[in-house]
Structures are given as structure tokens and as C-alpha cells.
Chain A
């Protein structure tokens, strides 16, 4: 309880800092800072929630939409849509569905968590390079745009869009709270999960598909942000919350905090140079990823 409140307090203070840093004018505050704040919070929260659920459902501590290639697949869909003159969201939705289907198939095929992860890495590299190729064909974009897109770059959006994205992340939160028991039982393996009243196959598919779909509008707008989905849920687990409502709620809050901090640093660390938010989150998240790789591969041998 105390840890949870501390986390919420930190989130609140950082939000205030983010909004009022450098005492912006009223217009900047309302039209730029507030949407950016909402986007950072909801994107991060959703990434973390997806990471938490992916890890539990696939029984893989290193799973998240980024490492398993779902994020890059959505991003490729968005890029293709732009190239074809369609709305980026449409392609992102379609491709995220497609990649979850592949993933669920691969989950059945590959027996060890590590091989599933390597499969995702392969998929990711393929899709990222395709994104670069398509960007080079787009007349109005540079390769820097492509790079920023594959690293995740939170661009200014309208207040309306940011509110819509916030709504999507809250929808994901409600879904996961509703399924908190299932999320807690799936890591125990399909047999124990089943004999505790959860259909493992159906539940996994339902959760993975819904979260990937909810995530795709974020990815089509801002690109691929990695490591939030790894670092945040594990941070929550290290705090001692592994199941129930608290695990879901704190993963949501932790992801929001982590991404907001990354975005704040991306903007202000080398001002006026702006960094992709994903580059900053990787700076903190990737070492943590390596730590987890060491820890879980050691525990498994």
C-alpha cells in the first residue's frame, strides 16, 4: 500500500514538473504540454500492461510487444498504409492482428522461452528494415524520420487525439483488472491454470489480441518504444507485487511513470535537441533487460 502510494505520488509530481518546466505560456500548456503528458502516460501505461500480460500468458519473463515483434509489425503496417495513401491506423491494426497470429503459432512451436524471443528478434529486424526501405520510397520523408519512427518519437498531437488514446489505455486497464485472476494463473503453466478454472489457450489469445489492437493506434502515431514493457512490470514484481489487482494497477502506473520520465529527459536533457523517447527508455531499460536475461537464464539451467 505504501509503495503504491509512493509510486502514485512520484507520478503526480513528475506530471507537474513535466507540465510546468520552464514556466510555459497558457497556450503551450494546454495545446502542447497537456496532450503530450496524456500521450506519454497512456502509451507507457499500456506498454507496461501489455508487457505484464505477455510475460505471464506466454510464461516468458522477456516477452513484450517490442521483443516479440508485434510493435514492429504494427509499425510496418502503419508505414505501408502511408505509402499506399491510407490511414496509418488501419494498417497498424491489421498487421498487429497478423503478428499476434504468428506469435501464437510460434508459442506452440517453440518449446523454450529463449527461442520464442529469438523468433521475435528475427521478426523485428525484418520488419524494421522493411520500414526503412519503405520510408526511403516516401517522397516527403527522410531516413531520420524513419529512424525516429523505429525508435519511438512522441510528436505533438491534438488534445482530442490524446484524450482518445488515454481512453484506449483505460480500456486496457479495465480489461486486465477484469482478467486479473487469469493473468495471475497463466504463469503457473497450462495444467495448473486449467485446473484452477482458466482455459489457457483461449484466455491467452483473447488478452494478446485485445492488447495488441489497443496498442496499434499508439504505434501508428509514435512508432516503436522498447523496453518499457520489460522494465516496468519487473520493477513492480521486484517491489513485491506479482498478482491480483495490485500487480495490474501498479504495472499501469509504473509504465506511465517510466515513459513520462523518458519523454521528459528526451526533451530536456540536450535541449534544444530532441531525442526519440524510445532511445531514452532503452538507455534505462536495456541494461535491466540484460539483468533479467542473466537472472532467468541462470535460474532455469
Chain B
């Protein structure tokens, strides 16, 4: 469904190849500056890459932009709007879709509808950006550091949303420094070391190569298993 062959970008990414199928949640791991965010931006066509990225058999760069963003979309790492749009206005502008209350309440942003973007907390921003993706509903989701600085309520919302996407047969890419979080939500793991693909494997294989990827001794190699994480669901008043 998504086939990447010899993807390179400047000196940052070097000949990356892999194949992702519907329903896969792919955790992208690597050290700072390894090229994780760059990979995501190439997969969205934001950076003009060398090599092939085939989505449903079509070369990504040949798909017109307006059509492409409906197939693959992105949750940015940082986001600083210049003018103070209201949440509702932002969602309408950036999706072109009428904003329905059901989607908003799913992410707990219904009461933020009339709030200005600059007055949102980090967690509220992520919730708004997730509602944006839900309104667009692409086939491939690129999530760039969605879990940074989030409180447990938003993390749990994010986790259950990613599982829902997987059940809906979407492809999800997640970049995060939080290795535990990535192992909690992903079922495939892509390790990038100095711009090259180190591994593209399932849980067990990836776990074994983590120390090589990060070039350090990892204290806690035990990965949290599914059942344990499911039992911890904080009761969040704002959902």
C-alpha cells in the first residue's frame, strides 16, 4: 500500500526502503537528528525527496497537492500561528470540511470551539490537531512528536485513537522520543541511524536492536505489554 524505495533527502536520509500495509502502526525511532522528522516530511511530500514513494501504486509527487493531502496528512511537531484564529475557524480553514460537533467532542475540544489558538495548552493543541486529522481522515497519518509534554489524559486519548486508526485499516507513523510510548502503541518499528535504515521489524526484533540504535546501555529493556497499559485509563473530566 505504501512502498518506499531508495528514499534519500540531502545528506539527512540515505536510501531508505520499506513497505507498509493497511492497519500498521509504525513507530519511528532514532537519536536526535537521525532524520525521523525528515522522513515523515518526505512521506508527506513536504520535502522533495529522491527515490520512490508509492501510495496505492501512485508516485506521491505526481499526485496533485490538494488530492495528496486527503491521502496522507501530518501532525506537526511545533505550531505557531501568527494570527489568533479561533479553534473552529482553524479547523474549517485547514480541512475545508464543515466542523461537526461529534468529532469535536470525541477529542474533548467542543468547549474549546470558540477559544483562540494562542490560549490553548500543549495538550489542547494536540487534541485540536487530532480533530483536524479526523476531519480530513486520510489513509496515511504522520504524527510528529504527538506525545511530547502531554498529561496522562491526552496520552490515553492519543493511544486509543491510534488503536482505532489501526482498526480502521489506516497506516500510522509515529515519531517520538518516548520509547515506552512508541512500544505501547505501535506494531512495527522503524529505526533510523544517521539517516540510514537500521531496522524495520516487529516488537521483538526491534527491542533487540534498540541499544545499537541509541548507542547506549538501556536500563529498562522490558517493554510494557498491552494488557498492563489498557488497565491504566485515567478518568478525565474534559473528555
Interface assignment of B96: CB less than 8 Å from any CB of chain A: yes
Interface assignment of A145: CB less than 8 Å from any CB of chain B: no
* B residues 72-112 touching A (CB-CB < 8 Å): 73-74, 76, 79-85, 89-90, 93-96
For A197, the chain B residues whose CB sits under 8 A away are 65-66, 69, 96
* A242 with B65, Cβ < 8 A, contacts A189-B76, A191-B74, A192-B79 known: no
Q: Contacting B82 at CB < 8 Å: which of A60, A191, A198, A199?
A: A60
* A188 with B74, Cβ < 8 A, contacts A194-B46, A195-B44, A243-B85 known: no
Complex CA distance for A181 and B96, rounded to whole angstroms: 9
1/0 per residue, CB under 8 A from B, across A171-195: the answer is 0000000000100110111011011
* B80–A196 touching, CB < 8 Å: no
Complex CA distance for A147 and B71, rounded to whole angstroms: 57
Interface assignment of A56: CB less than 8 Å from any CB of chain B: yes
1/0 per residue, CB under 8 A from A, across B36-72: the answer is 0000010010100000000000000000011001000
Interface assignment of A59: CB less than 8 Å from any CB of chain B: yes
* A56–B79 touching, CB < 8 Å: no
Interface assignment of A3: CB less than 8 Å from any CB of chain B: no
1/0 per residue, CB under 8 A from B, across A249-278: the answer is 000000000000000000000000000000
1/0 per residue, CB under 8 A from B, across A222-241: the answer is 00000000000000010000
1/0 per residue, CB under 8 A from B, across A186-222: the answer is 0111011011111100000000000000000000000
Interface assignment of B118: CB less than 8 Å from any CB of chain A: yes
Complex CA distance for A184 and B85, rounded to whole angstroms: 10
Complex CA distance for A60 and B81, rounded to whole angstroms: 10
For A299, the chain B residues whose CB sits under 8 A away are 118
For B41, the chain A residues whose CB sits under 8 A away are 191
For B93, the chain A residues whose CB sits under 8 A away are 181, 184-185, 188, 196, 243
* A187 with B83, Cβ < 8 A, contacts A197-B69, A242-B89 known: yes
Complex CA distance for A183 and B224, rounded to whole angstroms: 46
* A187–B46 touching, CB < 8 Å: no
Chain B residue with the shortest CB-CB distance to A187: B82
For B80, the chain A residues whose CB sits under 8 A away are 189
Complex CA distance for A196 and B74, rounded to whole angstroms: 10
Interface assignment of A152: CB less than 8 Å from any CB of chain B: no
Interface assignment of A61: CB less than 8 Å from any CB of chain B: yes
CB distance from B140 to the nearest CB of A (A): 12
* B69–A196 touching, CB < 8 Å: yes
* A192–B94 touching, CB < 8 Å: yes
Chain A residue with the shortest CB-CB distance to B95: A196
29 A-B contacts, Cβ less than 8 Å apart?
Answer: A59-B82, A60-B82, A181-B93, A184-B93, A185-B94, A187-B85, A188-B93, A189-B76, A189-B81, A191-B74, A192-B79, A192-B94, A194-B46, A195-B44, A195-B69, A195-B73, A195-B76, A196-B69, A196-B93, A197-B65, A197-B69, A197-B96, A198-B65, A237-B83, A242-B84, A242-B85, A242-B89, A243-B89, A299-B118
Known: A194-B65, A195-B74, A243-B85. 8 other contacts (CB 8 A): A187-B82, A187-B85, A188-B79, A188-B81, A188-B85, A195-B94, A242-B85, A299-B118
